[in-house]
């Protein structure tokens, strides 16, 4: 098969790899129809890898068609169109069965495309372990593009908004208006937020925020703008969707007393000094972590089916898989209006 392979920093190659096969009786093989680049894939692209491996297939967002199943796969059959959860669990323990992959009790929680241990989804075929749990049929009324966004990006955005304790009438700030930040803002509005401020350095992205009803102040004076707009109260909830120390600190600065800050931007920064004294004085709640994708699907499906959330609007490019190196380059440099990069396989 053909796949996108990590060879080293800023070196993603379109190459031939061995086709995946059934390794365990609960596996399924999926012929990938569409896959996507996630913002967290840029850590690998930059050489900030999660392992020392090279030569492995990258990517963890994909939808496709079941072409083979192990003998213990009972919920899926050949020909089913499925979405693949980026978060992989054993699918048998109490936590996984509740959708909570992060707390997998057999320590089977992992993600595609971070090393050779579980090959990625930016390929013609992918092996899905514990397929009855780690993949699901695309729901009626949900398009392939929408389902693709549900495999990680939208689920993470919803998780981030849920972690931000957003109530009806809440005032919310979202720091970082990439695809996940914009979907987190949409999620906040769906949860009943009365006012959402979108903070980003890129005017093109702020314009997308305004199109969905956000207030997008000049980032240089955004904190003053929010302070004046809220009469000094600042925000009930803040979502950070970048993962840099500077943006996490900025997010803390937008929170009001007893506010909640939810960080979903992937960060490998081990040096950030947390402003503990200020957080204590403000009575802040701070949450950071990764999403258990299947846990969010029951909430998201009806919102998409009803048109309340439209994640497909953030897809800026759809390219053939063979254009992988070019897609990573323009996504990394934020040129050509790059937002969500999708490959047709």
pLDDT of residue 238: 98
CA distances 259 to 94, 164, 174, 186, Å, are 32, 9, 13, 20
Q: Which range, of 56-65, 239-248, 260-269, averages the lowest pLDDT? A: 260-269
Share of the chain above pLDDT 70, in %: 99
pLDDT of residue 13: 98
pLDDT of residue 14 exceeding 80, the answer is: yes
345 in Cβ contact with 36 (< 8 Å): no
165 in Cβ contact with 260 (< 8 Å): yes
Share of the chain above pLDDT 90, in %: 91
**DSSP state, residue 18:** P
Question: Which two three-digit tokens encode residue 236?
Answer: 């009930």
pLDDT of residue 132: 96
- Which tens digits make up the pLDDT trace of 137-191? 999 999 999 999 999 999 999 999 999 999 999 999 999 999 999 999 999 999 9
Burial of 299 (0-12, 13-18, 19+ CB in 10 A): middle
Task: Read off the pLDDT band of 266 (50, 70, 90).
Answer: confident
Q: Break the chain into its structural domains and give their ranges.
A: 2-152+292-344, 157-288
3-state SS track over 160-229: HHHHCCCCCCCEEEEECCCHHHHHHHHHHHHCCCCEEEEECCCHHHHHHHHHCCCECCCHHHHHHHHHHH
pLDDT of residue 268: 66
May I ask the CATH architecture of the domain 2-152+292-344?
A: Alpha-Beta Complex (3.90)
pLDDT of residue 269: 67
Mean pLDDT of the chain: 95
CA 128 – CA 23 distance, rounded (Å): 10
Number of C-beta neighbours around residue 240 at 10 A: 29
Q: Phi and psi at residue 66, in whole multiples of 5°?
A: -70, 125
The residue-averaged pLDDT of 105-110 equals 91
Sign for the CA dihedral angle at 264, 140, 63, 316 comes to negative
Pairing of strands 235-240, 255-263: parallel
124 in Cβ contact with 18 (< 8 Å): no
pLDDT of residue 270 exceeding 80, the answer is: no
The residue-averaged pLDDT of 112-135 equals 96
Task: Read off the pLDDT band of 298 (50, 70, 90).
Answer: very high
247 in Cβ contact with 224 (< 8 Å): no
pLDDT of residue 41: 94
Number of C-beta neighbours around residue 114 at 10 A: 21
CA 289 – CA 267 distance, rounded (Å): 10
292 in Cβ contact with 99 (< 8 Å): yes
Taking 3-state DSSP, the helix, strand and coil percentages for the chain, each rounded to the nearest 5, stand at 35, 25, 40
CATH match for 157-288 among 3.40.309.10, 3.40.50.720, 2.60.120.10, 3.40.50.150: 3.40.50.720
Task: Read off the pLDDT band of 51 (50, 70, 90).
Answer: confident
pLDDT of residue 88 exceeding 80, the answer is: yes
DSSP codes, 106-170: TS--EETTSSTTS--SSBSEEEETTHHHHEEEPPTT--HHHHHHHTTHHHHHHHHHHHTT--TT-
pLDDT of residue 247: 94
CA 97 – CA 276 distance, rounded (Å): 36
- Which tens digits make up the pLDDT trace of 191-244? 999 999 999 999 999 999 999 999 999 999 999 999 999 999 999 999 999 988
pLDDT of residue 297: 96
């Amino acid at each position: 098969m053909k796949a996108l392979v990590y060879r080293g920093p800023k070196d993603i190659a379109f190459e031939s790899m061995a086709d995946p096969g059934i390794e365990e009786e609960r596996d399924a093989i999926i012929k990938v129809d569409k896959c996507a680049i996630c913002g967290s894939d840029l850590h690998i692209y930059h050489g900030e890898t999660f392992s020392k491996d090279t030569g492995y297939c990258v990517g963890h967002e994909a939808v496709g068609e079941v072409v083979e199943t192990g003998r213990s796969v009972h919920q899926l059959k050949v020909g089913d169109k499925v979405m693949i959860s980026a978060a992989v669990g054993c699918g048998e323990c109490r936590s996984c069965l509740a959708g909570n992959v992060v707390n997998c009790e057999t320590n089977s929680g992992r993600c595609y495309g971070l090393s050779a241990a579980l090959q990625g989804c930016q390929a013609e075929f992918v092996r899905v372990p514990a397929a009855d749990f780690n993949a699901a049929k695309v729901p009626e009324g949900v398009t392939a593009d929408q389902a693709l966004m549900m495999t990680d990006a939208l689920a993470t955005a919803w998780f981030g908004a849920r972690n931000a304790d957003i109530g009806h009438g809440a005032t919310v700030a979202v720091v970082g208006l990439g695809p996940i930040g914009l979907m987190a803002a949409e999620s906040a509005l769906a949860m009943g937020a009365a006012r959402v401020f979108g903070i980003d350095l890129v005017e093109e992205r702020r314009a997308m925020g305004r199109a969905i009803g956000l207030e997008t102040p000049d980032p240089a004076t955004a904190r003053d703008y929010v302070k004046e707009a809220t009469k000094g109260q600042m925000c009930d909830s803040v979502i950070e969707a970048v993962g840099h120390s500077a943006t996490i600190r900025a997010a803390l600065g937008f929170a009001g007393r007893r506010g909640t800050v939810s960080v979903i931007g992937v960060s490998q920064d081990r040096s950030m000094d947390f402003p503990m004294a200020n957080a204590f004085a403000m009575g802040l709640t701070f949450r950071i972590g990764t999403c258990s994708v299947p846990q969010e699907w029951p909430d998201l499906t009806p919102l998409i089916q009803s048109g309340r959330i439209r994640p497909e609007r953030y897809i800026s490019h759809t390219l053939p898989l063979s254009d992988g190196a070019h897609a990573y380059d323009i996504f990394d440099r934020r040129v050509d209006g790059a937002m969500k990069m999708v490959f047709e396989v």
